[in-house]
Structure formats: structure tokens, C-alpha cells
A and B are shown apart, each in its own frame.
Chain A
Amino acid sequence: MRSSLLRPATPRALLRRPSQPPRRLLPLLAHPSQQPNPPPCRPHSTTTTSSVNETEISHFSSLASSWWDPHGPSRPLHLMNPHRHDFIRSCLSSSPTSPPYSSLTYLDIGCGGGIFAESAARLPATLSITGIDASPVIISVAKSHARRDPSLAQKLSYLNSPIESLVLPPVDIVTCFEVIEHVDYPSQFLGELIKFVRPGGWVVMSTIARTWTSWVTTNLVAEDILKMVPKGTHDWGKYLHEYELREWFSKENSREGKKVWGDARVMGVVFVPGCGWKEVKGSEKIGNYFFGVQRLV
């Protein structure tokens, strides 16, 4: 118990220079306590063999059977899902150069069991969505679950592929929810991810800030005290601040010598036991948040 409490504050994490993206990013759901069956938190697993480590992949594979149980460990993710759509809509409507909402293509990186991918495929406005995940077990869960809904087959496809070897024309929206915190080399990972966004399109992510609050809620309370999340789900050292993500994109702009990426949009959300997720202004600084950025050219 003691040693695991100490684990998060590894020197590696603490020494990370703020101007550089953290070595590993990592989001998780920061929700202290909850309802009848509090869960764990991690929904989406990671995607790339190079950027995601094997331990993470097997950790999520072990959660596969409960992925779609609304009262199981993935409940917070199920509850989070509608907010993902609200956030995407707010991003799209914030810019006149966004693709029309009536016909969108998506790529969901680290799709897990398909909670987001299925929901996006069901929207009348979606043309197509591809979900990729590094875990073959989870991809098979996703595929098998999708057979339960006849409306999905036409729009939804899954690939068990690392992002590095993915071949896909750029899409309108690249999503990556609760994933980047499991990636070993987030900077390299983001570099791969942005290749799939077409001009006008958006990168939409969610993750969790690396703060004392998030350490207490996700590592101490969720894993050690309440044991609502399997131990080892969170590595606090991998959590990412939204300013770190913003800096990464502005560095991209400097590297390109022009403004390729627009100003980031951020929305902080807090898990309120009994109510689910609520948007709380400013909470991105302390816990879970959404992050969206548009490719301008």
C-alpha cells in the first residue's frame, strides 16, 4: 500500500520540463467515489505498440469482458460518453471552417470496446467511423458487440492496428479518449495522430491533469482506499496538463512556420456521485478535461 502510494511521484514525472510534453501522458477518470458500483476508470486502451506499453494493453484486455456492463467498471465511461458528443459539437460550431455537421468522418484511436465508436456511428450525421485499438482481445469485444445493432454495420469498422502502421485517408475528426495517459511517448504519439486530421478537421481528446487532486482521487482514493479501480490502472506520472497539450500544438505551429493548429478549446468535467459527469469551468486545471484543436490548413 505504502509503496504504491509513492509510485506516482517518480522522479521522471516530477523532473519533466514543463515546456516539453511529458514523457508519458495519461488521463484517467478522476472521480472520487460513486454510486452503487463504482468503477474503474479506464476505458480506452491504447493503440500503438510503439507508443503504448504491453502492460497497459494487457491491463485493458483483462477488463474486456466487463466493457459493456453499464454497472461494471466502465460505468463512468458510459456516463462520460454523451459529453464527448457535446464537446465535439461545441468545437465544430466554434469555427466557421469546420466540416459540415451533416456529414462527418471519424477515426477513434484507442477505441476500446467501442463505447464512443458505436455512438458516433449511430448519429445520422456520421458518414463513417473507424475505431482502432492495440489490444486484439478488446477489438474482438468491440466487433462482437457491434453485431447487436443492425444500424452499425454500414458505418463502423474496427482495426487492431497500431497508429504507426495505419493506412487511412484523413478524416474530419480524430478522437482519442482516455488514452494518451497510457502512452509511453506522447509526443511521438501525437505526431502520428495528427497525420489523420484533414484541414478544417479537429483533434478531440480527453485526459486528466496531473495535480494533487487527481493523485488523491484517482490513485489514493479510487485505487487504494475504495478499490473501485483495479490497482495499476493509473500512473499519475503519466497524467497531462492541458497547458502541456497546448504547448505541444503551438510548438507544431512554430515547427511548420505557420498557424496549422487553431486555439485549443478545453472543457473540465467533474464526476459527481449520483449524478454523473458535470461540466465545471476551470476544473480542467485539476482533473478530467476535454481538449479540442482544429487543423486550420
Chain B
Amino acid sequence: MEALLRRRAVYVCQSCVRSARQPLWRNYSSAPPRPDIYDVVCVGGGPAGLSLLTALRANPITSHLRVALVEAQDLSKIRSWSLPPTKFSNRCSSLTPSSVKFLEQIGAWEHMARDRVQPYQEMQVWDGVSGARIEFDWAGAAPNTGTTIAYMTENLNLTSGLLKRLEELGGVSTFDNARVENITHGEETEELDLREWPVVQLSGGKQLSARLLVGADGANSPVRSFANIEAKGWDYNRHGVVATVELEGEGWGGEFTKIAYQRFLPTGPVAMLPMPGKYSTLVWSTTPSNAALLKSLSPKDFTAMVNAAFTLSTVDLQYMHTQKSGQEEEYSWRMEHTPVDHRAVPQVVTGVQEGTVASFPLKLRHADTYVAERVALVGDAAHTIHPLAGQGLNQGQGDVQSLAKTIEYAVTHGQDIGVGMSLESYVSERYAANHVLLGVCDKLHKLYSFGSGPLVPLRSLGLSAVNALGPLKTFVMNQAAGNGMKVF
């Protein structure tokens, strides 16, 4: 039966496309741009949008759908992206084993530069004020994933791999270097009533009619605005500072046992995530003014600040944020008076790669729903999360996997893939799961954002309690590794 379903056929056939166009020509003598009819128009060629199109194209049941991609950036540059083995892009994500499994299923994983992907097996998390640590016995808790917690990957490695896989699959009408200028609804003619169909107007005049319009267009989603879906949330008044740094060695665990470190500072968490060799990627959530200072520092002083962030007391660190320069000297002086268990913190950072220090404002947003008539939102368009659990991109992969499955079910049962009814299972599968995670990360952020006061002893107690409570810890670990609860 399945095999029979694989017969390729065009869901929106060319003659329908023609018949839909003709009346428009008839109605307007000034010959407006013709709308082109697609089953799926995906706005946004980031990790979420590219994965969705790849999943649809790779599945024989959905590969007959007529699909289009609209992306403001030049995709050919991303497809041919390459860097020498000693340079790493500053935008990295930790892909959970379930995201990786999905990427394998859709055939994208093998197109990525695998020597640039770094699995890690251990995680060290501690409270910067009280020093309390959460210990994770990953091997025992996540038996199905081997010992790998997650895979550090440059976002560009992922999107470039997805684009190569899409090129291999073919069949996507791609409009890159093209911005969405407006989204309207279709018209009614004698033969067709497309008043519920979104029509995407591109810079350059091209118009695309969509049976299903997918908003994979990031946090400021124009598709979400078109669908009148509100996204509620708040800004954290924090920026995420990222950078690619070089350490003195391959890490305390050597080449095969890589460790991710995260320290909760009163201004936000700072994380050091392993990349291949002696390299690591830094994600430091901090106040906008601290972020501005960090970006203004010389490489030497920046490096000293990163080392200080993992070793010095929060008071020392705070002081160093007030200096315009000279952090390198300040750090070495203060280190002489600070006892440090070196194996409990990342190896010493020796340098920062040029041009990799950047920062992004952090916010929490959750759309009121993920679907409207003939519209579905995935990835950051649907939810933006605090990066402390490294889950934003993984949530998007979870969305895409669920939406692709929903579309497959609709196709095999003759449902119109754009109508709300067909999309119901996507929302019910993803909304609650994403909401739990947004809430957990938000609360963690808030719990650790106080430098003193009653919450500090409480939370060190909390961390010890977490350590003692096996089941709760397993839950937290499953969240991070993306197995178990199926949240990602």
C-alpha cells in the first residue's frame, strides 16, 4: 500500500496553475504579476525552514508537493560555505541526539562537514555565587544515546549541509536574495475561490500563492504578523555574547571525552562548549552594558575576561567589568589570590578568533498558536527561548519533524494540508512541549539572576537537592539531551 502511495503525482497540477492564472489575466488588462500556485511556500531558509523542505522532499509520500522557498540572504554563499579546520564560526548550536537522528533520516547529516561537529560526553554546571554543582551521571541516565549528550555544530555547517541535500533532492523553487514585501489573500474568479489562500509578494514583483504558508522566518516573523498571531513574552535585558576561543589543550577529558561547562553568574549564565581540537565556542549571557564592554576589549583583555568568568568570584568579575582595559593584568594578579580547582573549570583560554565576538539580544517569546488557516509557524517564528539550555534550534527541529509528519498524514488521507483541521495535530503535539521548556529555562534564568539575598542559599540548597533527587535530575538531563519526554 505504501508503495502505491509513492506514485509521484502533482498535487497542484500545472493546468490548475494555468486555470488559476487565466482569470487574472482576463480581469486585469494591465497584466499584473501572475501568482504562482504552490502547495507549500516556506518563508525563511534558516535551520527550521531548510529542514522542513528537506523532510518534505526526502519523503516519497510528500515529494510530489509543489514547494517554494523564500529567503532574504544569498543561499549560494551558505551552500558553498567552508572554513579552514582551525577556524570556527561563532554561531554554534548543540544538536540533541534526537535532532541528529532526524537529520540522518532526512539525509542531511551526511552532507555536513562531520569533522567540524564535536560530540560531548560530560557537562559541568555550577552556581557562580554559592559554588554548588549539579553532577550528571550521563552514562547511567541516557543509556540509549551512548554517552553523547549532544553535538556541537556550527549553524552554517548545518544550513550548508541542508542546502546540499536539498540540491541533491531537487524540486524546490528557490527565491533567495528576495525579501517578502507583503502577504495578502488571493481572489475569487469564476473557477476558483482563493480568498483564503495567502499570496506572498516578493521584492521584484513575483507572487506566490500558498496552499500552506510556512513561517520559518525567525523571531520577527512577517508570516506570524500576516496571520495576526500574537507572540507574548518579554525581553531579558540581556545580550548573548558569542565568540570562538582557543584553549591551551583539547580539554581535561582529552579528545574523546569532551566537556561542556556552564556557570550561572548573577548577570546570566556563561557557557564554554567544546568544538574540535583546542577550540571552544563561548555563549555568555550578560547585561547589554557588559556585552558592549566585552565587545570593545582587545583580544588579550577579552581572553582574560573569559577566563575570569569561569574562575574568579562574582565580585572580582564585576569589578573587571568596570575597567575600560587592562583586564589581562588584573586577571593574573587576582588569580594569584584565588584558589581554583583547575580540573573543575575549562582549560585556560589562550586566544579569541578574530572577528568572532558578537552579541544578540535575548528574549522569550511564545506565539499564541502555531497555526492559522493556511499558515503554520515553526522554529523561532513560533518561539524564542533563552539560550541557556541550548535548545532553540532543537525545538525548531522538533517542530519541523512534527509538521512534516502532520503533512504526510494529511496527504495520505486526502486532507487539504493547509486547512486548520489538518494542522491540529501539529499544534497539539508541539505547543505544550515547547511551553514546558520555555518555562523551565525562563525560571532557571530568573532563579540564578540574583547575586545575593535569600535566594542564594536557597538555590545552592536547590542544586544539592537536584543532585539528590534522581528522578528530577533525569528529567532535567532528558530535557537537555532531547530524549525521554520527547520535548525536543
Contact = CB atoms under 8 A, between A and B. Distances in A.
B90 to A, nearest CB: 45
Interface residues of A, number: 29
A147 B421 contact: no
Interface in B1-33: 1, 4-5, 7-9, 11-13, 15-17, 19-20
B191 to A, nearest CB: 7
B288 interface: no
Interface in A111-150: 118-126, 144, 147-150
A254 interface: no
B406 to A, nearest CB: 12
Nearest to A120: B414
Interface string B85-108: 000000000000000000000000
Contacts of A122: 11, 414-416
Interface stretch (B174-182, B192-200, B219-227): B192-200
Contacts of A126: 414
B214 interface: no
A28 to B, nearest CB: 21
Nearest to B39: A151
B413 interface: yes
Interface stretch (A11-19, A78-86, A167-175): A78-86
B16 A70 contact: no
A126 B415 CA distance: 13
A272 to B, nearest CB: 14
B427 to A, nearest CB: 13
B16 A119 contact: no
Nearest to A146: B193
A124 B9 contact: yes
Given A118-B416, A122-B414, A148 B194 contact: yes
A144 B193 contact: yes
A150 B413 contact: no
Contacts of A92: 1
Interface string A85-119: 11001001100000011100000000000000011
Interface residues of B, number: 31
B11 A154 contact: no
A85 B15 contact: no
A85 B196 contact: no
A122 B419 CA distance: 14
Contact of A153 (B16, B413, B415, B420): B16
Contacts of A102: 4, 7
B64 interface: yes
A149 B212 CA distance: 12
B80 interface: no
B414 A148 contact: no
Contacts of B211: 149
Contacts, number: 75
A147 B190 CA distance: 9
Nearest to A144: B193
B416 A124 contact: no
A102 B4 CA distance: 6
B412 interface: yes
Contact of B16 (A82, A100, A125, A150): A150
Contact of A154 (B13, B20, B196, B415): B13
Given A82-B409, A85-B413, A101-B1, A124 B11 contact: yes
Interface in B357-410: 409
Contacts of A121: 414
B308 interface: no
B37 interface: yes
Given A102-B4, A122-B11, A124-B11, A150 B20 contact: yes
A85 B191 contact: no
Interface in A41-81: 70, 78, 81
Interface in A146-167: 147-151, 153-154
B193 A125 contact: no
A80 to B, nearest CB: 11
A150 B418 CA distance: 13
A101 B414 contact: no
Contacts of A120: 414
A149 B416 contact: yes
Nearest to A70: B421
A102 B19 CA distance: 26
A239 B415 CA distance: 29
B4 A101 contact: yes
B19 A150 contact: yes
Nearest to B420: A70
18 contacts: A70-B420, A81-B413, A82-B415, A85-B414, A101-B5, A118-B414, A119-B414, A121-B414, A122-B11, A122-B415, A124-B11, A125-B9, A126-B414, A144-B193, A147-B191, A150-B16, A150-B19, A151-B16
Given A82-B415, A102-B4, A118-B416, 14 more contacts: A70-B420, A70-B421, A81-B415, A85-B412, A85-B414, A100-B4, A101-B5, A121-B414, A123-B414, A125-B4, A125-B7, A150-B19, A150-B37, A151-B11
A-B pairs with lowest CB-CB distance, top 5: A119-B414, A124-B9, A101-B4, A150-B16, A82-B413
Interface of A: 70, 78, 81-82, 85-86, 89, 92-93, 100-102, 118-126, 144, 147-151, 153-154
Interface of B: 1, 4-5, 7-9, 11-13, 15-17, 19-20, 37, 64, 191-194, 196, 211, 409, 412-416, 419-421
